[in-house]
Structure 1
Amino acid sequence: MEIDYIALFVKDVYRSYRFYRDVLQFSFTKEIEDGGVEGKSGQITIGLYEESWYEKLFHRCLTDQDRSVIFALTIADLDRFYSHLLAQKVTILQPPTIMPWGQRLCFFADPDGYIWEGTSLVNPKT
C-alpha cells in the first residue's frame, strides 16, 4: 500500500492552482473544470477542489480543524527553495532551521492555510 493521491478542499481553486503550479511547480495537464483540477509531484497526485465539494461529499461544512495536517517536500537546495518562497510572497511559518534532532527544515502555508514543510536532503550533523 502507498499514498498516491491527496485531495485538498480550497476557497479559490484558481488561486490554489496558481500556487501549486507556479510556487511548488506541480505539473498540471488539464485545465480547471467543475470546480476542481489535479496535478502531480513525483508519484503523488494532488486534487484541488472548491470547498463546496467537501459539503457535497460529507454533508457538512469544512472547518479549520479539517485542515490539520502537514505535508512535507524533500528539497535538494533548501536555501534556494526558501528564496523562491519569499520571492513568491508565500506565508512563511518558520525559516530554514536546524532542529534539535539535526534535520534542517522550513514551514510555510498555502493560500488556504494548509501547512507545508520543506526539508533538505542533507543532514547537517553528518
Structure 2
Amino acid sequence: MHEFYQMPLFIKLKVKDIEKSKEWYKNVLDFDSVFDFPGVDGIITMSHLRGIKYQDLMLIQDEQVNSSNSVIINIFSNNINRIYQFALENNTNIIQEPTVQPWNAKELTLEDPDGYIFTITESLDTDKKFDSVIDNVKDQI
C-alpha cells in the first residue's frame, strides 16, 4: 500500500503511449504505479508514478507530445550503477554515462521514450559538508 501525502512538487509529463512509458519508468528508474485514472472509455489517461517518497510523476496520455531539452528533471538515487544497468538493458538513450562531478556527485543523464531528459544524481561522500563541496567546485572553475 502506498503512503498518501500532499506532494510539495510533482511533474506532469505528456506521453504518447502511457503503457510504454509506465513500463520504462518501472524498468529503468524503478518507479511504481500509485494510481491509474481511466477515461470514459476505460483506457488509462493519467498515471501517478512514484520512486522514493516525494519523487512523484504524473503521466498524461496525449497525442501531441512536444518534449523540450530546456528542462532537465533531476532525481536522487542511492544506486546509480543499477539504474545505468537497467537503462542499458532497456535500450535507453544514454546522454551521459555515470560521471563523477566536482559537486560531490556522480551523475547519469538519460532520455525517456518521449524525449524527456533525466539526470540521476548520487552523492559520493554523504559526510562532506556543504561549504567543503562549494569550495571544491570553486577550485574547479
Deviation for aligned residue 1:83: 1.5
Alpha-carbon separation, structure 2, partners of 1:93 and 1:117: 9
TM-score (norm. length: structure 1)? 0.75
Stretches of structure 1 lacking an aligned partner (at least 5 in a row): 53-60
Identify the residue that residue 136 of structure 2 maps to in structure 1. none
Which SS does the other structure have where 2:50 is aligned?
A: strand
Residue 61 (structure 2) aligns with: 50
Show structure 2 runs of 5+ residues with no match. Answer: 1-6, 40-44, 129-141
Q: How far, CA to CA, are the matches of 1:81 and 1:91 in structure 2?
A: 13
Q: 1:80 to 1:17 in 2, by over 3 A?
A: closer
Is the alpha carbon distance of 1:101 and 1:46 closer, same or farther for their aligned partners in structure 2, counting shifts above 3 Å? Answer: closer
CA distance in 2, matches of 1:77, 1:63: 30
Number of the residue aligned with 1:56: none
- Classify 1:21/1:33 alpha carbon distance in 2 versus 1 (closer, same or farther; 3 Å): farther
Cα distance in 2 for partners of 1:92, 1:37 equals: 24
Indicate how the Cα distance of structure 1 residues 64 and 20 shifts in structure 2: closer, same or farther if over 3 A, else same: closer
- The code of the aligned residue for 1:73 comes to I
Return the alpha-carbon distance in structure 2 between the equivalents of residues 85 and 105 of structure 1.
Answer: 14
Deviations 1:67-111 (A, max 9, x none): 631111212122232122111221100101123445321100100
Aligned to 1:74: 76
> 1:64 and 1:84 mapped to 2: Cα distance?
23
Q: What SS does the corresponding residue of 2:86 show, helix, strand or coil? A: helix
Partner amino acid, structure 2, of 1:49:
I
Corresponding residue for 1:88? 90
**Aligned-pair identity (%):** 26
- SS of 1:16's equivalent in the other structure is helix
Q: What SS does the aligned partner of 2:38 have? A: coil
| Number of corresponding residues | 116
TM-score by length of 2: 0.68
Cα contact 1:6–1:44 (8 A) shared by 2: no
The answer to whether the Cα contact below 8 Å between 1:3 and 1:44 also exists between their aligned partners in 2 is no
Which amino acid counterpart does residue 26 of structure 1 have in structure 2? F
Partner Cα distance (1:119, 1:64) in 2: 21
> Is contact 1:7–1:48 with CA below 8 Å preserved after alignment?
yes
